[in-house]
């Protein structure tokens, strides 16, 4: 290749991946964006009709959408803080190179490799009126079982538990990689200065793990915003729409009601929410901790 054409080399290596992404991600995304301003429903063979902002006006007045948005917000509040804090504690506990520690790491990570379909079915059986949880409560003397998935007040927290259980090991591994990159000499110096025990984690671990904390917070927030499988398998959005999230509402409008353009409008709003979370991550992660600013 002539020297003045060598700048094309990296793009030629990227070309196959760009073609696949273009056909499977970017082009469908552009199509969905255009359908947000059109009427395309019921008869999928029809030509989309341009209607401008009507779908967005309908969305603004749609009480069901606002209910799903509130449910998604509560899902964020209930899931993300736990998935940011608890996996870090687990990572600290399984980080020391003790004999047999890999078995503990594997036990915490096992739920990650289990299919969400299998996990949802298993947890739905545990939550059943004659499931393990209620049978255990009755064995302890409680006369009535708890309506885990049939109570509007308990259904959403019950689904949150499955998401938390499934994600603890995944985020623990991310934290574990960060912990093992911290030089042990820092902890030895901290011990000399009187910072030992759990205080050393407050003085050293948390400041140096700040990029990982932000990463886990953003990833878990985006995952919680896009939650679907747990709701679909365990509650189907019920009872009384108490567990219906934005993604489930998109599925309902697109594949049950066949209102494709309206589902694209909801998906566009979801994209803007996720984009805002990503921009927030870039803004917060600008100031990263370094070894030089550690104080004991």
Domain boundaries, the chain: 62-293
pLDDT the model gives residue 64: 92
pLDDT the model gives residue 204: 82
The mean predicted confidence, pLDDT, of the chain is 86
Query: CB–CB of 289/210 below 8 Å?
Result: yes
Residue 172 has pLDDT above 90, yes or no: yes
Percent of the chain at pLDDT exceeding 90: 48
Q: Which long-range contacts (CB under 8 A, 24 or more apart) does 25-28 make?
A: none
Query: Which pLDDT tens digit goes with each residue over 112-157?
Result: 999 999 999 999 999 998 889 999 988 888 777 889 999 999 999 9
Residue 259 phi, psi (nearest 5): -95, 80
Fold classified for 62-293: MetI-like fold (1.10.3720)
Q: Which long-range contacts (CB under 8 A, 24 or more apart) does 257-260 make?
A: 257/41, 258/41, 258/42, 258/44, 259/41, 259/42, 260/35, 260/40, 260/41, 260/44
Q: Which residue has the tokens 């671990």?
A: 205
Q: Report which DSSP code applies to 131.
A: S
Residue 196 has pLDDT above 80, yes or no: no
Query: Which pLDDT tens digit goes with each residue over 20-78?
Result: 999 998 998 898 898 888 887 666 667 778 888 999 999 999 999 999 999 999 999 99
In terms of average pLDDT, the best of 3-7, 145-149, 165-169, 192-196 is 165-169
CA distance 40 to 228: 24
Question: In whole angstroms, how far apart are CA 130 and each of 138, 139, 237?
Answer: 10, 12, 22
Query: CB–CB of 198/253 below 8 Å?
Result: no
Rounded average pLDDT over 220-248: 92
- Kindly give, in sequence order, each residue whose CB lies less than 8 Å from that of residue 102, ignoring residues fewer than 6 positions away: none
Three-class SS state of 50:
strand
With both helix axes pointing from N to C terminus, report the angle between 27-35 and 260-284 in degrees, rounded to the nearest 10: 120
- pTM for this entry: 0.85
H helix runs in the chain, sequence order: 9-21, 27-35, 54-60, 63-94, 101-113, 116-127, 132-139, 155-179, 184-192, 199-200, 206-208, 210-225, 229-234, 246-251, 260-284
pLDDT the model gives residue 39: 82
Judged by phi (left if over 0) then psi (alpha if -120 to 50, else beta), residue 277 lies in alpha
- pLDDT interval class at 211 (50, 70, 90): confident
Residue 2 has pLDDT above 80, yes or no: no
pLDDT the model gives residue 292: 47
pLDDT the model gives residue 45: 67
Q: How far is CA 135 from the centre of its chain?
A: 31
- Kindly give, in sequence order, each residue whose CB lies less than 8 Å from that of residue 182, ignoring residues fewer than 6 positions away: 204, 205, 208
pLDDT the model gives residue 285: 66
- pLDDT interval class at 110 (50, 70, 90): very high
> 237 pairs with which residues across the strands?
none
pLDDT the model gives residue 173: 94
């Amino acid at each position: 290749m002539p020297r003045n054409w060598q700048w094309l080399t990296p793009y030629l290596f990227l070309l196959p991946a760009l073609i696949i992404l273009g056909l499977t991600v970017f082009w469908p995304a552009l199509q969905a964006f255009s359908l947000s301003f059109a009427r395309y429903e019921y008869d999928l063979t029809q030509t989309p009709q341009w209607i401008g902002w009507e779908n967005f006006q309908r969305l603004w007045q749609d009480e069901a959408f606002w209910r799903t948005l509130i449910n998604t917000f509560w899902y964020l509040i209930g899931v993300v803080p736990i998935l940011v804090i608890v996996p870090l504690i687990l990572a600290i506990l399984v980080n020391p190179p003790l004999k047999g520690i890999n078995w503990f790491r594997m036990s915490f990570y096992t739920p990650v490799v289990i299919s969400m379909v299998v996990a949802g079915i298993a947890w739905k059986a545990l939550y059943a009126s004659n499931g393990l949880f209620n049978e255990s409560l009755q064995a302890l003397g409680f006369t009535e079982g708890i309506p885990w998935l049939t109570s509007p007040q308990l259904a959403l927290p019950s689904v949150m538990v499955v998401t938390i259980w499934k994600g603890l090991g995944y985020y623990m591994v991310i934290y574990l990689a960060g912990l093992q990159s911290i030089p042990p000499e820092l902890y030895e110096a901290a011990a000399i200065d009187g910072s030992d025990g759990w205080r050393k984690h407050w003085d050293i671990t948390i400041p140096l793990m700040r990029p990982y904390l932000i990463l886990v917070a953003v990833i878990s927030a985006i995952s919680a915003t896009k939650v679907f499988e747990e709701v679909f398998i365990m509650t189907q959005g019920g009872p009384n729409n108490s567990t219906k999230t934005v993604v489930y509402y998109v599925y309902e409008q697109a594949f049950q009601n066949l209102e494709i353009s309206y589902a694209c409008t909801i998906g566009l709003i979801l994209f803007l929410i996720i984009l805002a979370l990503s921009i927030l991550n870039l803004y917060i992660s600008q100031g990263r901790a370094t070894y030089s600013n550690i104080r004991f």
